[in-house]
Amino acid sequence: MNRRRQKYFTKEFFEKNFPGLKTYPKDGYPDNGSGIFSAKLSVEQWLDLNNASRAHMNYVEGVTLAVLSILASGLASPRLAVVCGIAYIIGRQLCT
């Protein structure tokens, strides 16, 4: 997500679209695709930023259950829990 914000919310972007700002928000933060800064993006840029934001939130929502499950299974079978944890991490990376 942060790479997308860095890509689109540059110093040049703010100078062009918001000349009255004295300081520029670092990477457009806290705009996650639905704020005033995103209104100045093209449709393709906006879609890319929103898709990255949704993918990030999907990961955040799912990682808690995955970590708790791995910790609980680690009590009974630590080696299997390690394998499952590594598979989860690799699987998430391959899907992005």
Mean pLDDT by 10 residues, the chain (96 residues): 80 87 78 80 89 85 90 93 92 80
Q: Is the pTM here over 0.85, yes or no?
A: no
Looking at residue 12, its pLDDT comes to: 87
Residues in the chain: 96
Looking at residue 1, its pLDDT comes to: 59
Looking at residue 4, its pLDDT comes to: 82
Domain parsing of the chain, residue ranges? 2-95
Looking at residue 96, its pLDDT comes to: 63
Looking at residue 75, its pLDDT comes to: 93
Assess contact for 49 and 4: CB atoms under 8 A: yes
| Helices H / strands E in the chain, number of each | 4, 0
Looking at residue 71, its pLDDT comes to: 93
